[in-house]
Chain A
Amino acid sequence: MNYVIIGAGPAGVVAAETLRKHDAKGSITLIGDEGEPPYSRMALPYYLIDKISEQGTYLRQTADHYDNLKIKYRQAHVNSVDTKAKTLVFGDGKTLKYGKLLLATGAHPIRPPVTGLDLPGVHTCWTLEDARKIHQLAQSGAHVVLMGAGFIGSIVLEALVMKGVSLSVVEMEDRMVPRMMDDIAGNMLKNWCKSKGVRVLTGTRITELSDTGKGLKVGLNKGKLPVAQLVVVAAGVQSNIGFLKGSGIKTDVGVLVDDRLQSNVEDVYAAGDVAQAKDLSTGERNVLAIQPAAVEHGRLAAMNMAGLDTRHRGSLPMNILDTLGLISSSFGQWMGTKGSETAKMVDKKNYRYLRLEFLGDRLIGAQSVGMSDHLGMLRGLIQSETSLGPWKQTLMASPSRIAEAYVAKMHGSLG
């Protein structure tokens, strides 16, 4: 079989490795359109603060990893897919035939329609190339404006502060990480950042950027900011599906895939940030754009491509964030759903928070602030749909006993 994978992020790399595991002889081509070996975008904040070198961001650490697995790594940009002729067309006009195709083209950062977003000194933080530029401009003492305090913005936030810049964060919504956590958690994060000297403006929009000659003037819908040496745009991401126009592959916000990660076109699969696949928490198809989902998709899509009929139960939304030392996480339907019951432990003074959402006696969502132990248990309980029995009432009264409940359920004799 001739397998071709477009996209060399975690989904593409795991898919290539999984294909090799299940098909020793097939031809595997992995196509990436950036200048480096496959790397992890998640590692970029750590590169920004010099915790790792560029090489430390690479998804696989041995130089001959792909050669050893007989995976052909090709650096090229795919312009279009002809699903009838089973052929890819590259930017330089060259073509490549495929037998089975995996779309793992990921996502790109959204650039909101704000005047001046194309000025020098304005950067997204998505690629290694972006990170190199930010690394250069985010000098100690520089004033940096971060547009967006979502998950990615908040990760970049920590790196920028650690680089010693003076930081202002501008977020349209009423709190930080509005799509990852509720108002209690989002405002805890905001207060924490403020206590660390970060200016956080929520409910505020950047209206315009202009070059003053001494830096960037950042216009807001209310209030003022000092001139900035760097503006980092973190306004969310969108799946890379533009090149599929006219291919017959069905898309919505991502490539719509079934429970084998196959699109409506036979032999064309999708995985990772580009895939609109089943979300375990709602049962609906959704683009999750998180590392664990990318890896799950990549592995499952590859197994199906290799002929092993393997069904995807769905991936669970989950995130973990470290904001200047304050660790927060969320899982599943952290915001609750119709008919769900909420248990909360709130300790604003000490920046500690735990919220659990139950449907019947099962955990369906959770979020935490200021906790770092046994967090994976929250995933375990949600994903296994464990019936908590009498423990549910205990947890409604004392949500912090969740780890105990988990261990008790695992050892059946303890309720």
Chain B
Amino acid sequence: MQKTLVIDPGKCTGCKQCEMACSYVKEGTFNPSKSRIRVFDFHTEARFVPYTCTQCDDAWCQQACPVDAITTDPVSGVKQVHDNLCVGCKVCTIACPFGTINYNVSTGKVIKCDHCGGDPECVKACPTQAIVYSDAEQAGFDKMRQWAAKTDNAPQTTA
């Protein structure tokens, strides 16, 4: 069963522990700017929105990669960046219409969420269950995916 990160912005308090956990596990540093998940802060509305890759089926990043450095895990559906192949050209960072794959200046490679191999640290760090890890079918990413469909310039098969 494919699982995904289900994010409920209504439960997010903006504590940013997900960002801390992510950057610490992935980069060995408490540095939100290196986190694969980001919390957007809408002060005027007193709302916080955690935001990261949906592992979308279209995999814009994977398609745009010129050197085969991004693959889809056949079991989990997660899109993974292979550091040994990534040349740091950054084409994926402009191809992804969600802006969820970013260039890491310190490594010269791109980074994106990979569900920590099936045990996401952000989920464990979240004190309010604003981020949970559950079955893909029930995910609240549907809205995001619909939105994504609007950006798609390819599969509009009419027949």
B87 touching A291, Cβ below 8 Å: no
B93 touching A414, Cβ below 8 Å: no
How many residues from B make CB contacts under 8 Å with A? Answer: 46
Q: How many Å lie between the Cα of A291 and that of B89 in the bound state?
A: 11
Which of B40, B49, B94, B155 is in CB contact (< 8 Å) with A379?
B94
In the complex, identify which listed stretch (B15-23, B101-109, B124-132) lies at the interface while the others stay far away. B101-109
B20 → A minimal CB distance (Å): 17
B67 touching A383, Cβ below 8 Å: no
Q: Which of under 10, 10 to 19, 20 to 34, or 35 or more describes the interface residues of A? A: 35 or more
Given A46-B87, A61-B68, A295-B63, residue A300 in contact with residue B99 (CB < 8 A): no
A311 touching B156, Cβ below 8 Å: yes
B153 touching A312, Cβ below 8 Å: yes
Closest to A280 in B: B153
Closest to A295 in B: B63
* A-B residue pairs, 8 tightest by C-beta: A380-B97, A374-B99, A377-B99, A40-B66, A376-B96, A376-B99, A309-B159, A46-B87
Could you list 15 further interchain pairs (A-B, Cβ under 8 angstroms) beyond the known A51-B88, A291-B66?
Answer: A43-B67, A46-B88, A300-B154, A308-B159, A312-B154, A313-B156, A375-B94, A375-B102, A384-B150, A406-B99, A408-B42, A411-B9, A411-B143, A412-B143, A414-B47
Chain A residues near B (Cβ < 8 Å) = 10, 14, 40, 42-43, 46, 51-52, 56-61, 280, 291-292, 295-296, 299-300, 303, 308-316, 318-320, 322, 325, 327, 329, 331, 372-380, 383-386, 403-404, 406-408, 410-414
Write 10 A-B pairs (CB below 8 A) sorted by A numbering: A40-B66, A46-B89, A57-B67, A291-B91, A292-B91, A310-B155, A310-B156, A378-B99, A408-B40, A414-B45
Chain B residues near A (Cβ < 8 Å) = 9, 33, 38, 40, 42, 45, 47, 49, 51, 60, 63-64, 66-68, 85, 87-91, 93-103, 105, 108, 143-144, 147, 150-151, 153-159
